[in-house]
Copies of this chain bind each other. A is one copy, B any other.
Amino acid sequence: MLVSALLTSVGINSGLCVLFFTLYSILRKQPNNYDVYIPRLLVEGTSKGRSGFNLERLIPSPGWVRAAWKLSEEELLSSSGLDAVVFMRIITFSLKVFLVAGIIGVFVLLPVNCTGDQLEDVDFADFSNNSLDVFTISNVNNGSKRLWVHFAAVYVVTIFVCYLLYYEYKYISSKRIAYFYSSKPQPHQFTILVRGIPVSAGSSISDTVETFFTEYHPSTYLSHMVVRRTNKLRSLINDAKKLYKRIIQLQSNPTQHKPRRGSCFGLFGHKVDLVDQYEKKLEDIEENVRLEQSEISLAGEEVPAAFVSFKSQYGAAIAFHLQQSINPTQWVTEQAPEPLDVYWPFFSSSFMRRWISKLVIVVACILLTILFLIPVVIVQGLTNLTQLEGWLPFLKSILSTTFVSQIITGYLPSLILMLFLRLVPPVMELLSSIQGYISHSNIEKSACNKVLWFTIWNIFFATVFSGSVLSQVSIFLDPKNIPAKLAVSVPAQASFFIAYVVTSGWTSVSTEVFRLVPLFCSLISRPFTGSKDDDLQVPSIPYHRDIPRLLFFGLLGITYFFLAPLILPFLLGYFCLGYIIYRNQFINVYAPKYETAGKFWPIVHNSTIFSLVLMHAIAVGIFTLKKLSLASTLIFPLPVLTLLFNEYCRKRFLPIFIAYSAECLIKKDRDDQNDPAMAEFFDELVTAYQDPALMPIHYSGNLESLNTPLISSASV
């Protein structure tokens, strides 16, 4: 890629960013858009007052940037929970890493690269037409002593990243424990989920659970709630809610109250009052729901799974940690999620069924990954202008235009890729939900992992290897030659990834703040729904979409920092934008839907370790390729030490993120005992895990509390 193409791309994207930000500054002040840009403030009631028109509303102002900048970590913690803090720490962690790597890269490595003359066809006079390769390690002469600078940089950055990783892990661990101590008693801390309850003939599951736990946990057992099969009921309730919404719409909108005139069939249409008709239908459904509810509660469509609550958190932890039954596939315990976090659909129960669905999902993920390569390869073809001309000769005249060719090489490929990738997080979330996780948080965590590895495989490796070898799978079946192949292919794609950071990265943050899709949806649906505030759903941040994206840019930065240091300023720009924008979104848009208390961090840690080791593998290959075999030998201890460091962290910190220690639990229990509110809490605990489908329907606009399937739109 040429420098001018990159500059074009940077220009377009900077322009887009400025445009988006300006528009955002104006649009967010329009009361019509409050539900898009400040739904959280609206629901919390902080921002209802402003409605009068004034000129200020039309002038872009940077006030929101200042507010986002000034937000302290404590404020974020209290308003959005520990998960939001962890999310922001991914960004600050990346900022720290790439600030240090950027200083080394731009002020040390870049000059070294430029002064080489391995790529001889470079003409410095015509700077703007230069290939970007001049700035990469490819330009350093083979066997040059200057490569030791790169060698030292690899060591320094690895050590710095490991130090930061350790520090962050420790910090977040301590935050997690502090959060636990400071939290009010919560139902999920006193509860476990038991699956694989053996059903003996003649007794119900509820009785079996009662007998078992009063027998083996007599001093701590409090109550239980057997899970029931409510799929049918849930769809009935959804129907009722839709109908109710429609009725409300019709009633509040007198123009639509009359027999439909808008439709082209209106003239010949039915004259019956629609509202009456709908109300009758709703009554029918409600009757059905009540029938079904009583049927389920009485006849007992019980699933062999139950939420079992205990009198102390330590008691629940004991039941969770110890294998309960002689047969390990029975009475399988796991930590209960928060009541609102439970994912009721797909509540598959039997050991075998869960196990098989897990296997099926693993296969499905592999298939998805393999099939996804096809569009990626086509997209990669677009960056190869000569190849494209070869395929489609009639395009030759168009492609020879400088501007068109620059657009195509610099912008279009990554845009297409980005659009494809938009589809991946919902699909992965769907797959995770089928896999048998019982909470939204676990589904998102699993989807986060899936999306991350999917992205690394399908963007990084597919891009790197499709230029040279189409079938990248065969490369990984020949592990000996991976470093050599990486060394050849990775630097060759430096310009693509620089452009990718600018286009995909910068665009993603600006669309994040601009909320393009919700804005469109709001604009389209507004005429029909009216401006009912209680209809408003506060969205939650889709961690499984945003964390993999941040981590993938982190991987690009770590692997490319010594190959093509030019990528670092753009990455820093990306993370700076992200820092401001996500803070703004946490203040104004997103409300936490659940609290994992930092359980997303281990994913970040593992991904960074993987990036480091990948970087080392590339370094080994590069130094071999550059005929500096001593350096490539001396790199070898680095991945080994990095993996050992990772192993140590796994032992030192990971257990804290899986379960709380006896020390914590007992201290917390003792604190709670002195709390006079505990009696009331236990009363509530008994019914905390009631399936919402079995509770009376309530038609509040806040659908959140009704536990509609998070991904119902994706799963249908």
Contacts and interface: CB of A to CB of B under 8 A. Distances in A.
A593 B262 CA distance: 91
Given A477-B480, A652-B329, A321 B324 contact: no
Contact of A328 (B215, B328, B329, B656): B656
Interface string A639-675: 0000010001001111110010111101000000000
Given A216-B662, A323-B662, A324-B662, 9 more contacts: A319-B662, A321-B322, A322-B661, A324-B661, A325-B663, A326-B664, A328-B652, A328-B654, A478-B480
A338 to B, nearest CB: 22
A651 B323 CA distance: 12
A221 to B, nearest CB: 12
A318 interface: yes
Nearest to A473: B480
Contacts of A661: 322-326, 328
A216 B653 CA distance: 22
A85 interface: no
30 contacts: A177-B326, A215-B666, A216-B662, A216-B663, A216-B666, A317-B322, A318-B321, A318-B322, A321-B322, A323-B661, A323-B662, A324-B661, A324-B662, A325-B661, A325-B663, A326-B656, A326-B661, A326-B663, A327-B652, A328-B651, A328-B652, A328-B653, A328-B654, A328-B655, A328-B656, A355-B651, A359-B644, A477-B479, A477-B480, A478-B478
Contacts of A216: 662-663, 666
Contacts of A653: 328
A652 B330 CA distance: 9
A652 B332 CA distance: 11
A643 B699 CA distance: 50
Interface in A568-600: none
A36 B436 CA distance: 60
Contacts of A351: 651
Contacts of A666: 215-216
A407 to B, nearest CB: 41
Q: Classify chain A's interface size.
A: 35 or more
Taking the full assembly, how many copies of this chain does it contain?
A: 2
A64 B169 CA distance: 65
Interface of A is mostly: helix
Smallest CB-CB A-B distances: 5 pairs: A328-B655, A321-B321, A323-B661, A322-B662, A477-B480
A477 B482 CA distance: 11
Contacts of A321: 318, 321-322
Interface centre among A324, A326, A478, A655 (most CB of B within 10 A): A326
A477 B216 CA distance: 52
Contacts of A477: 478-480
Contacts of A329: 651-652
A652 B329 CA distance: 6
Interface string A357-388: 00100000000000000000000000000000
A652 B318 CA distance: 21
A653 B327 CA distance: 8
Interface string A257-270: 00000000000000
A662 B215 CA distance: 11
Interface in A455-512: 474, 477-480
A654 B329 CA distance: 11
A672 to B, nearest CB: 16
Nearest to A322: B662
Contact of A323 (B322, B355, B474, B659): B659
Contacts of A659: 323
Contacts of A322: 317-318, 321, 661-662
A579 B573 CA distance: 74
Interface in A318-355: 318-319, 321-329, 351, 355
A41 to B, nearest CB: 37
A495 to B, nearest CB: 33
A170 to B, nearest CB: 10
Contacts of A359: 644
Contacts of A355: 648, 651
Interface string A196-219: 000000000000000000011000
A651 B330 CA distance: 11
A318 B220 CA distance: 14
A321 B662 CA distance: 10
A326 B652 CA distance: 10
A620 to B, nearest CB: 15
Contacts of A644: 359
- A319, A654, A655, most chain B CB atoms within 10 A: A655
Nearest to A474: B480
Contacts of A664: 326
A458 to B, nearest CB: 22
Contacts of A663: 216, 324-326
A655 B656 CA distance: 23
Contacts of A654: 328
Q: Which of A319, A323, A359, A653 has the most chain B CB within a 10 Å cutoff?
A: A323
A320 to B, nearest CB: 9
Contacts of A478: 477-478, 480
A549 to B, nearest CB: 31
Contacts of A652: 327-329
A177 to B, nearest CB: 6
A194 to B, nearest CB: 12
A608 B655 CA distance: 33
Nearest to A476: B479
Contacts of A323: 655, 659, 661-662
Contacts of A651: 328-329, 351, 355
Nearest to A332: B651
Contacts of A326: 177, 656, 661, 663-664
A330 to B, nearest CB: 10
A477 B663 CA distance: 47
Contacts of A474: 480
A175 to B, nearest CB: 13
Nearest to A654: B328
A664 B319 CA distance: 14
